[in-house]
Structure 1
């Protein structure tokens, strides 16, 4: 980023500076390591590409939208460059706190399934396929999501086939 805003007394980044970033670069700003920020009506979310198995599937974490000032506070941003310091661990913690979903796009099925933690339960859903399931444990690692997809392959395929009948 070309702007470096130095603030005194450990003050957080002013909201207007973050919104100016979007004004300059568009509603979606890409950073290194698969991190991007998206803006919608003065609310900000993070998208983080996690893992892709070529030709099979990919994982992305999407945080909930936050008002710009809440976003700055959550990640304690003091400069625009601080955004580049947001790492996968911070985004994973957001998922574990129930403030993000992990989406698994299965290329063969042409569908995306999302996992979200709610009160110790992992919700699994796909809006496009009208699919919903609950797993009564916390799925928190990529192998857990891969195992869910493998064990429920028949149900996921059935939902995919029924997609066009609605």
Structure 2
């Protein structure tokens, strides 16, 4: 018998699920995030410590496209870890989660890091991950479009509110 999920998440059309690294020192939260995302089809690597996370990241052949990181971590805090990862791969998508009372709701930094306040509702968490996954998928599609010379190529993509037209070329 399939276990029911206690929350509702908006269904999205996602064709390829990203590899995600979860870096959270709280075992309960890390396991919860891991199980929810695995059940949605994501490939998950979870680590409890910032220092170990960068070592594991460096050893991985296929790097995670999305990193979920707690701000307060042993060895290497979330900000330091994020800087290390972005130095290695600036296209990485980062969702940093913090218990800092100055952060309310969701904020995006000038570096494109999404910052979410704890506690985070699971619907919101999964929606954030799905949106980051869609960004990665969109970037993949852009990477496979051939370069044009003097001509434009048009690409229509469905999004939440309708269709978006992207023009590529010179």
**TM surpasses 0.5:** no
Which one has the bigger strand percentage?
1
Query: When the two structures are superposed, what TM-score results if normalisation uses the length of structure 1?
Result: 0.29
Query: When the two structures are superposed, what TM-score results if normalisation uses the length of structure 2?
Result: 0.28
